[in-house]
């Protein structure tokens, strides 16, 4: 069973705060992990990907991966109102060829 | 902008009809994946094409079929439309059969009445 679980939210944070988005996955064969941002009515936009345990930083975004706990997170520092969107976690499992599994997304609202 | 284009933007069909959706990949990308995203849900993988061959399929019935052309553009065909087929259909292009980093097109909103 290949499931990706996210808290659907909504998550609200004040402008300038750190937003923390979490994702768990069930398949230990999961190999690659992705965070997408999706604005209402738009298509998903790739923010970050991570393959190895630990942290990966890109500007205001930090992805954290813990394969032992089957947990991946996204931190958004200095949150801006423009960060208000749904954040999708996606997982690629090595033994399923090329299928990506998406969570249902977490809705984030940054309050000015 | 990802360079991935899809057409049409919106489409309304009647139950039982057939529909063809189109996707042009980002320049240099030879892999395209199709997803169905119902309202409030994450994208669900339909199938992937790599160099004109199907390279993986999700849990969708055979009435969902596809093609990839030599220029790496792609089509998604859905026969015998059902009301539950109403969704946003997304294509994503990537380089290489493994399709590590995918970039989505703007999507086609299909409504079945």
pLDDT, tens only, A41-61: 899 999 999 989 999 999 999
User: In this complex, do B55 and A92 lie within 8 Å of one another by their Cβ atoms?
Assistant: no
CB-based contact B42 A92, cutoff 8 Å: no
- A101–chain B Cβ distance below 8 A for any pair: yes
At a CB cut-off of 8 Å and minimum separation 6, what does A59 contact?
none
Please write the tens of the pLDDT for every residue from B52-87: 998 888 899 999 999 999 988 999 999 999 999 999
For residue A97, what pLDDT is reported?
60
Which residues in chain B are contacts of A104 at CB distance < 8 A?
40-42
Q: What is the pLDDT of residues A7-32, one digit of tens each?
A: 878 999 999 999 999 999 998 778 88
Query: Cα dihedral sign for A38, A42, A44, A47?
Result: negative
How far is it, in rounded angstroms, from Cα B33 to Cα B46?
7
Say if the Cβ atoms of A43 and B100 lie within 8 Å: no
Q: Are A44 and B48 an interchain contact pair (Cβ–Cβ within 8 Å)?
A: no
- Tokens 């199709």 belong to which residue? B34
């Amino acid at each position: 069973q290949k499931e990706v679980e996210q808290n659907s939210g909504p998550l609200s944070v004040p402008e300038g705060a750190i937003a923390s988005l979490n994702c768990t996955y069930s398949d230990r064969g999961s190999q690659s992990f992705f965070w997408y941002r999706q604005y209402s009515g738009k298509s998903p936009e790739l923010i970050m990907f991570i393959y190895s345990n630990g942290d990966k930083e890109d500007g205001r975004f930090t992805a954290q991966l813990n394969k032992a706990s089957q947990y991946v997170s996204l931190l958004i520092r200095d949150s801006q109102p423009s960060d208000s969107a749904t954040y999708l976690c996606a997982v690629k499992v090595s033994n399923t060829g090329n299928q990506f599994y998406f969570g249902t997304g977490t809705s984030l609202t940054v309050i000015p | 902008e990802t360079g991935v284009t899809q057409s049409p933007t919106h489409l309304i069909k009647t139950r039982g009809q057939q529909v063809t959706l189109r996707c042009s990949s980002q320049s240099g990308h030879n892999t395209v994946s199709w997803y169905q995203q119902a309202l409030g849900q994450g994208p669900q993988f339909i199938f992937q094409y790599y160099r004109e061959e199907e390279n993986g399929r999700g849990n969708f019935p055979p009435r969902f079929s596809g093609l990839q052309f030599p220029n790496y553009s792609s089509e998604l065909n859905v026969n015998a439309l059902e009301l539950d087929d109403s969704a946003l259909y997304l294509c994503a292009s990537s380089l290489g059969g493994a399709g590590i980093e995918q970039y989505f097109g703007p999507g086609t909103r299909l409504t079945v009445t």
